[in-house]
Each structure stands twice: as structure tokens, then as C-alpha cells.
Amino acid sequence: MPDRPRRDPRSGEDWHRQLMSVLPGLLAAIFLAALDQSVMSTSIKTIADDLGGLSLQAWPTTAFLITSTVSTPLYGKLSDMYGRRPLFAIAIGVFVLGSLCCASAQSIYQLAAFRGLQGLGGGGLLSIASAITADLVPPRERSRYQGYTMSCWIAASLLGPIIGGLFASAHSVLGVAGWRWVFLVNAPVGGTALIVVSRVLRPTGQRRARRIDHWGATAISVAAVPLLLVAEQGNRSGWTSPTALACYTVGALGVVAFLLAERRMGDDALIPLRLFRVATFSLAITISALVGLGMFGVISTVPLYLQVVHGLTPTAAGLMMLPMMAGTLASVILSGKLIKRGGGLRILPATGSTIIALAMFCCCLVTVDTPLWALGLIMVAFGIGIGSCRTVNVTAQNAVPPRDVGVATASVVFFREMAGAIGVAGYLSVLFGALPARLATAVGDAASRPEVSAALADRAVAGNPANAPFFAVLRGGREALADWSFLPAMDPRLARAFQLGFDSAIGRVFLVGGLVMCVAALLALCMKPPELRTVGAAQAEEYFGRHRAPESA
């Protein structure tokens, strides 16, 4: 390392060469995290059937979500203290170990426990990979390298459902039950990432011995776990059930305890409270959380809408998300070029949030008869908006002292994941809260139409068990709301009422999401991002550490 931040052309060659050498390891780790999310969607039912726990299939997903989210800020802080390489190696190793344990699970309860172990590693994959990039790459250049990341995400999103479906449908592969390979494939990918990172990534920055914030880590777990738990299970157990109320209480107490612990620990805190006194950092965190809420809301509700209203298969509904990914990739590349010129840190997230809001409002106008190509265009708009908003990561990293880049990166991921999980629960709550009344209205209106009245008078239609849910709702029943698998077999004239009712109910979801994104756009306009650093965080930390310059520089 030189005695000062290098600004000559050769410095760009140095960090570019080192980044490209370690990039395969970073992408392999990102691929692991992305693949895990997509591969489970098509295989969890088969896994749960084989382990005899179909009614408990949500718990393995919930366990991973909780442990990965809670461990994210801890990885960020420890990587600032002890370096990225050892923590990244630990994250990859724990993730692979958890994957191997998942492959050996003999019950759904074991699988949930092992998924929790896997999540302890997964919490560090994305946050440390992003922090390593921030260490090596100057902020002006950072966004253009996100194209590699997005390409990796798209590849994992394409391959995940296919791999999950192939393994889930295979009785056995090499003498091992097919679904177990869903987890076994993580071993070679994780091994590749571990080898590359261990051999290529050099230690960076000035590491300092600090106290470990045990109380802060405990408090944030007490705060996050109940809230994530009720977010995942609230639709099943009820948002005002005694269990949910207990989760709210424990979560609130955990938040208070966390704030007290962080105030006491000062600079050694898991997430130092002084960072939130930086207005740009606080706004970037808030905008990222709101965008996460919108993004996860789209990902969770649009495929459901396509399957129920437009009759697409789960695979076809998943493929309809590809236009969004393509829009995100294109937007990330264009955003990188704008940031390289020194601008866009405020206008890009403001524009992106506005585009997401407009796309959501367009979804409110979508009907049962809207062609799929129009929906595809809306998904492209979603992608463009999401890609533009990813620049808030660069803003958050650039707004804090170089020695806090790991904490800043992990904080962005943590609050985005928390907001996403809670947001999905909120979206589904709005949807299923409005659905009964909207469905009853749609069925009542349909029954008065001549073509439907003729169908109801037909004994063959009335006697078909597949049409029974229509008559149940017409009489005021709610049995059809729990399971919509009957819809493809229902008489099309009757099924249209269910499609109209669902379409009407989900419109409220998109309206709420659009309003949330309008708030994000206004906050983005209020940001005043500082001038972008011309060197990577590790290089800046080295320089300021040697010269004892003020950290705010």
C-alpha cells in the first residue's frame, strides 16, 4: 500500500486487477445466496412430503430468514474489526456445512434447524461480498461492477427453479434422494468461492482490536426474531392472536434494549449510533428499506397474481419475472456510467422510486383481459426502477468513514431484508383482508349475468365438484379462500368471477405499494450525497490511518 491514496492511472489498474482476480470467488458466493432462494421455491413441497411435514413446510424457510437476517450486522462489524477474508471464509464455510447437514435431514424439524445453521452463513455472503467490492473499488467505479452481480442473480434465478424442479422430480441421483442434491450442489460452488477468496484476496485496511458487542448482538436478535417470526406466520396464526401480540411486545423490548446497548458501547457498537447522525446515511438506509419493501412485495404478489388471474403455471409465472431482471441489469449498467461522471446519487434513486410507483399504479389498472406483453412491459419498468435505486448502497458506503464500510453495507442489507419480510407480510395481509368482500361481490355480480345464469341452471355444471366453491361463496361461505387449486378445473364462466375478485383485491396492494414508493422518491430528493471518494475504502483507510486525518474526510 502506498503512503497516500493513489490518483495516477496505474492505481486504477491495480484495484481493477485485484478485483478481477477475486471476482470469481465473490460471484460464486453471490450465486450461492441467489440460488438458495430460487431453488427452494420449486422443491420445498417435495422435500416436505418426503420428510412427512407438509403442514410445517414454512418453518425451514422461516429459520433461514431469521438467522441470515440477524447475523448480517454481526458479519459487517466483525469484518471491519478482523478483516473481510477470514469472515468471508467463515460465512462460506458455515453455509456449505449447513447445506450438507440439510442434505442429511431425516425430519422436517431437523431440516428447519439445519436451515437455520445455513442461514448463519448466508447472512455474510452478500454483505461481505459488497464490502469487499467497496474496499477495492472507488465509489465512482463501483456501480458498473454491479452488472456482474446482476448477471449472477439472473443466472441463479433462471437455473434455480429448473435445478430445483429436476432434483425434486428425480427419485434418486447416484443413490441419493433427488431433493437432497438441492443442498449438495452448494458444496462445489462454495468450495470454489472459498479457494479463490483464501488464495487471492489480500488483507486490507487498518484493523483495530475492539470490544465485541455481545449485548448488542443479543438485543438485535431479541428484537428481530419475534418480528420476523410474526411476519412469516401472521397470515396463518392471525395478526392479533396472543402469539402475535407476544412477539410484538418482545420485539419492542428488544429494540429498546438494542438502542441502550449501542449507546453504551459507542464506537464498538454493532451498529454505531453515530452513523445515524449522518443525514445522508440515515436517508440512504430508509430509502433502501422502502425499496426493499416494494421489491419484495412485487416478487411475492405478481407471480401469485399471474397464476390465479391469468392461469399461468408456477414455472411460467417465474419466467414472467425475467423482464424485471433484464430491466434491472440494464438500469444498473446505465447508472454506473452516470455515477462514474460524479453524479446521479440523488436523482437516480428518486427517479427509480418514481418509476416503481408508476409501475405499481399501472398494476392497479391491469384487468383479467390485459395481455401478457403489457404485463411484461410493466415488469421491465419495475426492473429499471429497482436497478436505479441500488445506487443508495454506494451512497451509504460513501457517507461513512472508510473504517465503517462493513457496518454500513451490512446495515443496508439488514434493514432492507427486515423491511422486505415485514412488507411481504403486510402486502399479503392487505390482499387477503380485502379478498373475501371483493370475491363475494364478484360472485354475486356474475350470478346475475345471463351467461352465468344459464351455466348455473345446467345440471352438469351444478353437479360438477370442481364448481362447488362458486356455490359455496354464493351462499356466503369462505371455504374457497384457503385453497385455489380448484380454479383450473372450474367452468370458465364461473372461474372468471374468482379471477375478477382476486384482481380487484390485489389492486389495493399495488396502490399501497405505490404510495410507499412515492415517499421513497421524496426522501431521495432530500438527500445531499457527499462527493464521491476517488479511491477504495481500504486505500482511504490506510491513508487516513497513517496520517491521522479526521475520519470525516
Q: What is the pLDDT of residue 203?
A: 60
Residue 249: exposure state from Cβ atoms within 10 A (0-12, 13-18, ≥19):
exposed
- Tell me which residue of 10, 328, 15, 6 sits closest to 141, measured CA to CA: 15
- The Cα–Cα gap between 298 and 154 comes to 16
Q: What percent of the chain has pLDDT over 90?
A: 5
Over residues 494-502, mean pLDDT: 81
* Sequence letter at residue 7: R
Is the pLDDT score of 82 beyond 60? yes
Q: Do the beta carbons of residue 478 and residue 420 sit within 8 Å?
A: no
Is the pLDDT score of 355 beyond 90? yes
Is the pLDDT score of 434 beyond 70? yes
Q: What is the pLDDT of residue 42?
A: 61
Q: 478 vs 391, which has greater pLDDT?
A: 391
- Tell me which residue of 423, 392, 397 sits closest to 408, measured CA to CA: 397
Over residues 33-58, mean pLDDT: 68
> Per mean pLDDT, which of 94-108, 291-305, 476-490 is the most reliable?
94-108
Q: What is the pLDDT of residue 14?
A: 64
Q: Do the beta carbons of residue 120 and residue 66 sit within 8 Å?
A: no
Distances (CA, A) of 215 to 125, 264, 278: 24, 10, 24
The three cell numbers of residue 342 are 460524479
Distances (CA, A) of 227 to 115, 247, 252, 427: 19, 6, 9, 16
> Per mean pLDDT, which of 32-36, 174-178, 323-327, 333-337 is the most reliable?
323-327
- The Cα–Cα gap between 533 and 263 comes to 29
Is the pLDDT score of 508 beyond 80? yes
Q: b/e per residue, 462-481, with b = 16+ CB within 10 A?
A: eeeeebbbbbebbeeeeebe
Q: 475 vs 497, which has greater pLDDT?
A: 497
Q: What is the pLDDT of residue 95?
A: 92
Confidence of residue 358 (pLDDT cuts 50, 70, 90): very high
- The Cα–Cα gap between 424 and 37 comes to 15
Q: Which residues, other chains included, contact 130 with Cβ-Cβ below 8 Å and sequence gap of 6+?
A: 393, 409, 413
Longest C-alpha distance within the chain, in Å?
A: 88
> Per mean pLDDT, which of 102-111, 395-404, 471-480 is the most reliable?
102-111
Q: What is the pLDDT of residue 75?
A: 85
- The Cα–Cα gap between 471 and 202 comes to 68
Over residues 174-194, mean pLDDT: 82
Helices assigned H by DSSP within 310-447 = 314-319, 322-340, 347-365, 372-389, 391-399, 405-447
Residues written for the chain: 553
Over residues 316-320, mean pLDDT: 73
- The Cα–Cα gap between 248 and 483 comes to 29
- The Cα–Cα gap between 386 and 335 comes to 11
Q: What is the pLDDT of residue 146?
A: 67
Four-point Cα dihedral 292, 295, 298, 301, nearest 10 = -30
Over residues 422-430, mean pLDDT: 76
Confidence of residue 9 (pLDDT cuts 50, 70, 90): very low
Question: 33: part of which helix (H) or strand (E)?
Answer: helix 9-51
Q: 260 vs 406, which has greater pLDDT?
A: 260
- The Cα–Cα gap between 195 and 541 comes to 27
Confidence of residue 544 (pLDDT cuts 50, 70, 90): very low
Is the pLDDT score of 408 beyond 70? yes
Q: What is the pLDDT of residue 210?
A: 65
> Per mean pLDDT, which of 182-191, 301-310, 426-435, 460-469 is the most reliable?
182-191
* Sequence letter at residue 368: V
Distances (CA, A) of 181 to 75, 94, 452, 498: 28, 18, 49, 38
Is the pLDDT score of 231 beyond 90? no
Sign of CA dihedral 541, 545, 551, 553: negative
Of 85-94, 202-211, 342-351, 388-397, the poorest mean pLDDT is in 202-211
Confidence of residue 3 (pLDDT cuts 50, 70, 90): very low
The three cell numbers of residue 81 are 474489526
Beta bridge partners of 43: none
Over residues 59-81, mean pLDDT: 81
Q: What is the pLDDT of residue 94?
A: 92
Computed over every residue of the chain, the mean pLDDT equals 77
- Tell me which residue of 343, 364, 375, 403 sits closest to 550, measured CA to CA: 403
- The Cα–Cα gap between 127 and 442 comes to 46
- The Cα–Cα gap between 84 and 205 comes to 10
Residue 321: exposure state from Cβ atoms within 10 A (0-12, 13-18, ≥19):
buried
Over residues 88-112, mean pLDDT: 88
Evaluate if pTM is beyond 0.85: no
Angle at 364 between CA 360 and CA 367, to 5 degrees: 130
Q: Which residues, other chains included, contact 93 with Cβ-Cβ below 8 Å and sequence gap of 6+?
A: 121, 190, 194
Q: 480 vs 550, which has greater pLDDT?
A: 480
The three cell numbers of residue 416 are 432492507
Of 63-77, 98-112, 143-157, 350-364, the poorest mean pLDDT is in 143-157
- The Cα–Cα gap between 185 and 31 comes to 12
Is the pLDDT score of 354 beyond 90? yes
Q: 10 vs 244, which has greater pLDDT?
A: 244
Structural domains of the chain ordered from first start: 1-210 (1.20.1250.20), 214-269 (no CATH), 279-535 (1.20.1250.20)
Q: What is the pLDDT of residue 54?
A: 54
Q: Do the beta carbons of residue 60 and residue 105 sit within 8 Å?
A: no
Helix axes 146-169, 9-51, angle to 10 degrees: 20
Write a three-state SS string for 159-215: HHHHHHHHHHHCCEECCEEHHHHHHHCHHHHHHHHHHHHHHHCCCCCCCCCCCCCHH
The three cell numbers of residue 435 are 379478498
Over residues 293-311, mean pLDDT: 77
Is the pLDDT score of 4 beyond 50? no
Is the pLDDT score of 511 beyond 70? yes
Q: What is the pLDDT of residue 471?
A: 74
Is the pLDDT score of 264 beyond 90? no
Q: What is the pLDDT of residue 97?
A: 92
Question: 85: part of which helix (H) or strand (E)?
Answer: helix 84-103
Is the pLDDT score of 472 beyond 70? yes
Of 165-174, 273-282, 381-390, the poorest mean pLDDT is in 165-174
Q: What is the pLDDT of residue 451?
A: 72
Give backbone dihedrals phi and psi of 14, rounded to 5 degrees, phi first. -65, -55
